Every structure is written in C-alpha cells, then in structure tokens.
Amino acid sequence: MNKPLIINRLAFLLFLFPIFMFGQNSTCSDALIVAEGEYVIENFSGSGAIFQGATAAAWYRFEPSEKGVFTVSSCNGGGDSRLVLMLLDDCSKTDEFQIINSADDNCEDGNGGEKASFIESVAVPGFSYVIYWDNGQSEDGFTWNLTFVSDEEVAAGSTCESAQDISIGTHQVEELAGTGTAFTDAVGAQWYTFTSDMDGVLNISACESEVNTRLFVFEGTCESPQIVAQNDDGCRESGASELDDTAIIEKDKKYFIYWDDHWSKEGFSFNLNVSDIPSSIHEPAWGKGIDLYPNPVDEKLFIDYAFEENLDLTVSIYNNLGQELLVEKWRAFKNGQVEINVTDYAHGVYFLKLSTANEQITRQFVK
C-alpha cells in the first residue's frame, strides 16, 4: 500500500518534542507522523471529526519500519478519551476508511481511570496506520503514548500471524491478548491453527470453563480469512461458546481457531476433537437447486431456486458477527427467483441460510 517508512527530519523532531499545539493535526490531511514516545493533545480544534458525537479530532499516522506490535494508550493520560485505529491511503476517499479497532473507556486504572483508552495492533511495514482521537466524550486534552515491540518479541497466539499450532485435546488459554482482535467490539483474542488428518466435523467446546467467550473458525490466510463457522453463547447457561456438528473440515487443510470476548480477557480451557461426518450433515439434495448472484454483490442479490417439489423454507441472512439481519418465510416454493436488496449492508462477508423443518444449507456472499 504505502511506501516503506523514511525517517525524515519532522518525524525525528516529533520524537524528541512530541507536544502538539492548538490547530495542528486537526484533520486527516494534516495528520502528524509519529514514532515511539509520549504525546500531548493540548485541546481539540477544527472540524476533522468523522464519527458521531464528536466535533473535533486529533489525527496521527504511524508507519512502522519493521513487523511487530504497537500500542496506542492514554492510560494514565488524565483524560476521558475515545480512540479509533484505521488504515487509509487517501484522505479524500472517506468511503475507504478501514477501521482496524476502536476503544473507549477500556483502561483498568490510572490517571483518567477507566475513561482512558488503549489499542494494541499488529504493525506491518508499508502500511500507514491512522491514529484518531476525538472529543466525543470530552473536549479536555490528555497525554498518550505509542510503544512498539518487534515481531520476535510478540507473544505466541496473540495475533493471527503468531497463531499457535494445536492438535486434538484440551487446551488452556491463560489470558486473551488485546493485540490481534479481528473485530472492533472485542477487548482480547487468542489465535490457534489446526490441521486435521481426516475429513470430518470440528468439535470445539469451552462450556466447562463457564467463561463468556466468542468462537470463530477461519480458513485462508491472515490477510484474507474466510469464516467457516462461528458461535457465541452456545453454552447457554454460562455464555461460553462451542461448535457442535457445524464445521466440516478437510484433511490436511489448515484452519485458524479464534477466540475473543466483548468484556474481559479472562482465561479458560477448551476441548478440540474431530469426528466423522454424520449423514445428516451432508447438504440435502434440494440445496443443489439454489444459486446466488452476483457475488460479490453491490445492491441486489438474486436467488434462483429450482426444486423437485414445493418447499416451505425459512430464509435468514447473518453478518460475520452472527447477527441476524433478515428473516423471511417462503411458502410452497418450487421454481423462480427472489431479489434481496443489500444496498444498506456494510462491506463484508455474509451468510444466507435456508432451512426446512429438518434440513438446512448455508451460502456465503460478499458485499
């Protein structure tokens, strides 16, 4: 994306004297390049805020020269702060903001208390990371810090890139790391990889730990992961998560197992096993009569269907967080086409589930 970092005189001066005065770095276009160090936001000014509830913002860019993990933190900074970390090449293309993570009031203690904020993130050379603070909570200034740890020092499993390889059995998550969260609503995550020696069904359960968790299984690469299966609160009594007969996996194919939590980094244990594929899991014959297009889709998703007999179907669409966005009942459907307007959907991966009383199929599409 961006050119490799070149340490210029401005960056060097900012490292030595990182105190920014009124009127500077108030918009994306005049974001200040920063390195490791402590920085002071004296106050907020200008009209560079881009998120609801804020009128002004302070903008910075961090451009790492090596791979690792960096932390942006206002803990002990003495203010009520709101933080967003983004990727953005061109400030004029506001529709291309890619939010990596956001934080508000997630410091445990210190000057500023729980109203201060921090984010840990993977750093990759060639990318420009936009650090955005705004006055959505307070117009008072505060102090914040940027720290960096090289890739060699990154804790195993704290990021997708450092995912730990595991096998069948019981595994202990000591604590969820704040670094490699895949979703902006998570405070911590842990990554693993698993490769099966057979085609089968991946069964994972953290029910015995009774810790509120969320679970995803991905395939692909860290740069472009694709969700295979997911669960949130599958262990009903505790809010813990499990996958049971829903994730069909292939022999010798690597999968990423990702745990996170909305509220806590508390550790837990989980069990992993692979079982034979039950005949009931194989896709029903009527699933061959479903066709989605275009995919990726921009505005309208078309579903062609051709069944041998009339079917009553429940049709649902979920986003990659497992949130249900649409549910419809199709009665006595046999041959035809249905059009679904997805104009208002955010860019991302979605899942279309069609189910009868006893069987179901799932199709993935991209907006």
Q: Tens of pLDDT along 234-284? A: 887 778 999 876 688 889 999 999 999 887 889 999 999 998 876 555 667
Residue 113 has pLDDT above 70, yes or no: no
Beta strands, E only, 237-367:
242-249, 254-261, 266-275, 290-293, 300-319, 324-341, 349-355, 360-366
Nearest to 358 by CA among 284, 288, 270, 276: 284
Residue 241 token pair: 């998560």
Alpha carbons 350 and 303: distance in angstroms, whole number: 14
253 and 310 both lie in a single domain: no
Whether 192 is in a domain gets the answer yes
Considering 153, 182, 205, which residue would you say is the last residue of a domain? 153
Q: Does 314 map to a domain?
A: yes
How much is the pLDDT for 1?
36
- Same domain flag for 205 and 306: no
Residue 109 confidence (pLDDT): 54
310 vs 297: CA distance, rounded Å: 28
- 214: which residues sit within 8 A by CB, 6+ positions away? 186, 230, 231, 232, 241, 259, 260, 261, 262
The arithmetic mean of pLDDT across residues 19-36, rounded, is 77
**Strands 118-123 and 98-104: what pairing?**
unpaired
This prediction has a pTM of 0.55
Q: Are 28 and 49 in contact (CB under 8 A)?
A: no
Residues 22 and 66 in one domain: yes
Q: Report residue 304 CA to chain centroid gap.
A: 31
280 occurs within a structural domain: no
Note if the bond before 64 is cis, omega within 30 degrees.
no
214-232 mean pLDDT: 86
Residue 218 and residue 93 in one domain: no
Q: Report if residue 3 sits inside a domain.
A: no
Name which residue leads in pLDDT, 294 or 2: 294
pLDDT at 103 over 50: yes
Mark whether 270 and 350 lie in a shared domain: no
- Distant-in-sequence, close-in-space partners of 202: CB < 8 Å, separation ≥ 6: 194, 196, 217, 229, 243, 247, 248, 249, 255, 272, 273, 274
Mean of the per-residue pLDDT values of the chain: 83
**pLDDT for residue 80 is more than 50:** yes
The answer, yes or no, to whether residue 333 has pLDDT greater than 50, is yes
- Region 213-237 average pLDDT: 85
Quick check: 287 pLDDT over 70? yes
Domain final position from 97, 130, 153: 153
Highest mean pLDDT among 28-37, 92-101, 120-129: 28-37
Integer Rg of the chain from CA: 23
Domain stop point among 243, 275, 307: 275
d(CA 151, CA 123): 9
Tell me whether residue 336 is in a domain. yes
- Tally the domains of the chain: 3
- Tokens at 186, concatenated: 């998570």
Q: What's the whole-number mean pLDDT along residues 216-229?
A: 85
Q: What angle do CA 361, 362, 363 make, to 5 degrees?
A: 130
Q: Which domain holds residue 82?
A: 9-153
